[in-house]
Amino acid sequence: MMFKNKTIVLTGASGGIGSAIAKALSDEGAILILTSRERDMLDELNHKLGGQHHCLMADLTTQEGLSDLVNLCRQFESGIDMLINNAGLSDFSLLENIEADRIERLVTTNLISPMLVCQALMPLLKAQHQARIINIGSTFGSIGFPGFSVYCGSKFGLRGFSEALRRELMDSSVAVYYFAPRATNTAINNNNVVMMNKELKTTMDEPEVVAAKLISFLRRHSDINFYLGWPEKLFVRINSVLPQLVDKSIFKQLATIKRYL
């Protein structure tokens, strides 16, 4: 796929991965609609990218935010070529220690909001000769990991939604893809997560690496899902057929994990 002059909606644009994706797409000549809840961070990002993109401060978990996004996208005569659902939250906690409203907000942001954004923009995407939806998931959307039960639940759901929607749209002009980074060095991970990953020797990619892999993935036409990193790709496959082997591996790490919770 060529990105030059393609109009792309990117949610969560001001975050670590989001800003790296925005830069990579801008460098490729894309026209970006950048959304975030943080106005100052959006403006700063757009300034760094030359100021030629379109910013929308909106909470896409609300109907008002969705309406603002649709209204902005309708202003583009050439239409919307791609939607990248990247906005996300995480929480490293035992389930019993997470407040109910935090659970609700995390699931709404990571799962319900991408569903509603897809639904809201579907008429505009279907109007194109060819359009794409890319949902940014996680390795933890395929492997349940202690301390991330709510996050895993939301990303497992996003993966299932992506698969079902892809099949639902197979007879249309809209293709759906699922892209799953592994641990990434961004502010979504608190210090405890970073220290735990170091002790467990878990690789954390830089956001720029994730963005470059996404661009490479989107250039290809053969893959519908992408899992970033080794041995994470292997663990995803093993977990799908022999989850008890992954259980044993994680159990050996459980005491270490719980020290950081």
CA 104 to chain centre: 18
Per-residue pLDDT at 73: 98
Q: What is the largest CA-CA distance in the chain?
A: 56
Is residue 173 included in any domain, yes or no?
yes
* Helix pair 149-168, 100-107: axis angle to 10 deg: 30
What does the alpha-carbon distance between residue 122 and residue 241 come to, in Å, rounded to a whole number? 34
In a domain, 1, yes or no: no
Q: Which residue in 113, 222, 223 sits closest to 161, CA to CA?
A: 113
What are the distances in angstroms from CA 111 to CA 12, 89, 108, 122, 195? 13, 10, 6, 17, 28
Q: Are 82 and 8 in contact (CB under 8 A)?
A: yes
Answer with the residue of higher pLDDT: 79 or 231: 79
What integer pLDDT is reported at residue 220 of this predicted model? 82
pLDDT at 223 over 90: no
Cβ neighbours around 28 below 10 Å, total: 17
Span 6-11, average pLDDT: 98
Residue partners of 184: CB distance under 8 A and separation at least 6: 16, 17, 204, 205, 206, 207, 210
Pairing of strands 225-227, 31-36: unpaired
CATH code, 222: 3.40.50.720
CB 100 within 8 A of CB 52: no
Span 126-173, pLDDT tens digits: 999 999 999 999 999 999 999 999 999 999 999 999 999 999 999 999
Q: Which residue has the tokens 């799953």?
A: 180
- Could you say which of 151, 177, 178, 227 is catalytic? 151
> What confidence category does residue 221 fall into, taking pLDDT thresholds of 50, 70 and 90?
low
What pLDDT digit, counting tens, does each position of 170-199 carry? 999 999 999 999 999 999 999 999 999 999
To the query of whether residue 151 is one of the catalytic residues in this protein, the response is yes
pTM of the model: 0.96
- pLDDT at residue number 166: 98
What's the residue count for the chain?
261
Evaluate whether residue 145 is within a structural domain: yes
Helices and strands per DSSP (H, E), number in the chain: 10, 7
Measured CA to CA in angstroms, residue 60 lies from 112, 115, 117, 144 at distances of 10, 11, 7, 27
Q: Are strands 31-36 and 7-10 parallel, antiparallel or unpaired?
A: parallel
Is 205 part of any domain? yes
Domains: count for the chain: 1
Q: Which pLDDT value is given to residue 247?
A: 97
What does the angle CA 198 – CA 137 – CA 3 come to, to the nearest 5 degrees?
A: 110
pLDDT of 256 above 90: yes
Note whether residue 43 is domain-resident: yes
Rama region for 76: left / alpha / beta (φ>0; ψ in -120 to 50; rest) = beta
pLDDT score recorded for residue 198: 97
Q: Per-residue confidence at 259, pLDDT binned at 50, 70, 90?
A: very high
For residue 98, tell me if it sits in a domain. Answer: yes
Q: What is the pLDDT of residue 2?
A: 86
Closest of 160, 151, 159, 153 to residue 183, by C-alpha: 151
Expressed as residue numbers, the domain containing 140 is 7-259
Residue 2 lies in a domain: no
Please report whether residue 105 resides in a domain: yes
84-111 pLDDT tens trace: 999 999 999 999 999 999 999 999 999 9
